[in-house]
């Protein structure tokens, strides 16, 4: 049983005061308003690339120095919080890795200015939250619900907005024109996030979305995330893409260049793992015992486990969608309709980033797993088809930029059911199509375009099969779906009537 040793000075770990003369004690104090990303305890700084407490810093350091292999005696999904963090070393380490802790993480003191700005933007957000909580914050305004071809109903949806840090604070290879950015929105506890609603998650006031896209200068009186995003954007000489100003104009090549860069940046901000991390972990596979533990789960237990993991992944997709230029200018009903019908498809495309074609495994729960791990789902045809899709797409070896724009194209589909303004969706899609063509042309890989478009109907069939399996599962375990599946999952893959609307187009 791991107990937290008293913190000891560690020459290798990032000591922010020693790391950078520019950082003052006040900076360190600022960061400490952000709780430990692993257990939620009071943090003491950025350690191994992630904001953690002393206990989790010491735990991670020991896990890296000792050759011990941790294993979970339960279902590898132990909750890790201040009180429970010492109960399961395996799950604690898994969470450390999932949050991005790494021996190779850049020291905070040597972070780029942009990354430090992003971190301080998050500090500012936390401080705002603390101020709001101190002044008994107002409940978020409920928003008109999603109209799935029925009469408008009370807002009941459960998708989107706040997500845990998608990127830890560590150096990233910068793509031209799309520098790494950790958006202050990407932060909160998953449990909270899953409880919120789709309409709430895509919600935005016109003014807010305008400030995101209008490229305004930094207004110190409005230290909101949007203006912070604009500040760091303009500071980087990166003029945020402004869909409003160019929405109806003929797309110039500059407009398409900016659109491409904006989509790629949104993708980088909202993928759970960086390519380098997945590469570094590619041979971290589950042991026979660990696979057996998954296979020993009952059908309903494994479905619940995967439903939670799938919902986590969807939340990142929803955040990505919100950042696609033009998406937030669509009416809320259409934003939700595109997400309900397209987010699973994007999850499956993104899954190919986490796939190792050499041993046909996918990164899941912190290690790489083969189809056999999912046996207790009792839907081997779906698993086989999903793995085949991931393998074949992975074999195309898309770059992150190509992946980013392709997933935007998958999402922005004017043929989806229940859309109110198809023409407007088509206008957004047209620019994304041009962006994909632009990127493939630039990379001299136009031949890939045809192959990518051929994958789209396969995605649709996979999602139809998934819905069919869910219908079967719900008949056997109605209570499990009703009481134990994340609200967000139920909204996404909804009741039978919604399911039909999702799969008839
Ligand atoms: C598709 C999948 C569920 C989702 C799993 C995800 C995409 C979850 C996010 C991880 O970061 C990456 C990942 C890896 C494996 C993916 C699973 C493979 C098989 C399984 C099913 C096909 C879907 C089961 C979901 C269900 C049936 C509960 O709705």
Q: What is the pLDDT of residues 264-305, one digit of tens each?
A: 999 999 998 999 999 999 889 999 999 999 999 999 999 999
Label residue 483 exposed, middle or buried (CB < 10 Å: 0-12, 13-18, 19+). Answer: exposed
Q: What is the pTM of this model?
A: 0.60
| pLDDT tens digits along 418-448 | 999 999 999 999 999 999 999 999 999 999 9
Average pLDDT over residues 7-35: 55
User: Is there a contact between 78 and 94 (Cβ–Cβ < 8 Å)?
Assistant: no
348, 351, 356, 390: residue to mutate for ligand 1 pocket, most atoms within 8 A of CB: 351
Checking if the pLDDT of 494 tops 50, the result is: yes
DSSP state of 364: E
Residues 6+ positions from 441 with CB-CB distance below 8 Å: none
User: Is there a contact between 350 and 407 (Cβ–Cβ < 8 Å)?
Assistant: yes
Give the pLDDT band (50/70/90) at residue 498.
Answer: very low
Tokens of residue 22, six digits = 């520019």
Residue 304 CA to ligand 1 centre (angstroms): 11
Say which residue the tokens 């934003």 belong to.
Answer: 335
Q: CA nearest 313: which of 347, 338, 339, 341?
A: 347
> Is 307 near ligand 1, meaning CB less than 6 Å away?
yes
Give the pLDDT band (50/70/90) at residue 213.
Answer: very low
Q: What is the CA radius of gyration of the chain?
A: 22
Say which residue the tokens 């699973």 belong to.
Answer: 344
Residue 241 CA to ligand 1 centre (angstroms): 33
Residue 347 CA to ligand 1 centre (angstroms): 8
How many H helices and E strands in the chain?
22, 5
Tell which atom from ligand 1 comes closest to the C-alpha of 489: 29
Average pLDDT over residues 227-252: 41
> Is 391 near ligand 1, meaning CB less than 6 Å away?
no
pLDDT value, residue 90: 86
> Is 480 near ligand 1, meaning CB less than 6 Å away?
no
Tell which atom from ligand 1 comes closest to the C-alpha of 306: 28
pLDDT value, residue 360: 96
Checking if the pLDDT of 205 tops 70, the result is: no
Residue 337 CA to ligand 1 centre (angstroms): 21
Residue 123 CA to ligand 1 centre (angstroms): 33
Residue 306 CA to ligand 1 centre (angstroms): 6
Tell which atom from ligand 1 comes closest to the C-alpha of 473: 27
Tell which atom from ligand 1 comes closest to the C-alpha of 347: 7
Q: Quote the CA–CA distance of 87 and 72 in Å, as a whole number.
A: 10
| pLDDT tens digits along 152-184 | 333 445 544 444 433 333 333 333 333 333 222
Indicate the pairing of strand 355-356 with strand 361-364.
antiparallel
> Is 306 near ligand 1, meaning CB less than 6 Å away?
yes
């Amino acid at each position: 049983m791991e107990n937290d040793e008293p913190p000891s000075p560690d020459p290798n770990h990032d000591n922010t005061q020693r790391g950078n003369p520019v950082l003052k004690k006040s900076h360190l104090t600022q960061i400490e308003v952000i709780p430990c990303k692993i257990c939620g305890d009071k943090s003491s700084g950025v350690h191994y690339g992630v904001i953690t407490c002393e206990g989790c810093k010491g735990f991670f350091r020991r896990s890296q120095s000792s050759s011990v292999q941790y294993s979970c005696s339960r279902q590898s999904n132990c909750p890790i919080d201040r009180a429970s963090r010492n109960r399961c070393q395996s799950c604690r380490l898994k969470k450390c890795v999932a949050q991005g802790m790494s021996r190779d993480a850049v020291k905070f003191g040597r972070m780029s200015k942009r990354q430090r700005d992003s971190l301080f933007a998050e500090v500012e957000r936390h401080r705002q939250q603390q101020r709001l909580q101190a002044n008994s914050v107002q409940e978020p305004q409920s928003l008109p619900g999603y109209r799935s071809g029925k009469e408008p109903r009370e807002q009941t949806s459960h998708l989107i907005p706040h997500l845990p840090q998608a990127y830890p604070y560590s150096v990233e290879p910068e793509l031209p024109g799309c520098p790494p950015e950790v958006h202050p929105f990407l932060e909160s506890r998953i449990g909270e996030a899953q409880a919120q609603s789709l309409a709430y998650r895509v919600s935005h006031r016109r003014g807010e979305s305008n400030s995101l896209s209008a490229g305004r200068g930094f207004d110190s009186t409005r230290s909101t995330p949007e203006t912070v995003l604009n500040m760091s954007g303009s500071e980087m000489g990166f003029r945020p893409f402004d869909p409003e100003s160019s929405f109806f104009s003929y797309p110039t090549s500059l407009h398409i260049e900016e659109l491409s860069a904006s989509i790629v940046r949104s993708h980088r901000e909202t993928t759970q793992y960086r390519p380098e991390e997945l590469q570094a972990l590619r041979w971290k596979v589950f042991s026979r015992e660990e696979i057996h533990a998954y296979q020993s789960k009952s059908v309903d237990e494994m479905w619940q486990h995967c439903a939670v993991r799938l919902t986590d992944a969807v939340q990142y997709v929803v955040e990505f969608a919100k950042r696609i230029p033009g998406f937030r200018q669509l009416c809320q009903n259409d934003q939700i309709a595109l997400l309900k019908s397209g987010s699973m498809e994007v999850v499956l495309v993104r899954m190919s980033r986490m796939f190792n074609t050499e041993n046909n495994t996918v990164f899941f729960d912190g290690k790489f797993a083969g189809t056999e791990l999912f046996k207790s789902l009792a839907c081997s045809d779906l698993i086989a088809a999903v793995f085949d899709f991931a393998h074949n797409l992975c074999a195309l070896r898309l770059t992150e930029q190509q992946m980013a724009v392709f997933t935007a194209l998958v999402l922005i589909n004017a043929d989806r059911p229940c859309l109110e303004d198809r023409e407007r969706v088509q206008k957004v899609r047209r620019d994304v199509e041009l962006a994909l063509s632009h990127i493939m042309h630039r990379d001299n890989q136009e031949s890939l375009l045809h192959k990518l478009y051929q994958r789209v109907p396969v995605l649709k069939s996979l999602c139809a099969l998934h819905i069919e399996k869910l219908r079967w599962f719900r008949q056997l375990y109605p209570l499990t779906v009703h009481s134990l599946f994340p609200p967000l999952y139920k909204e996404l893959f909804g009741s039978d009537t919604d399911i039909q609307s999702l799969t008839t187009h």
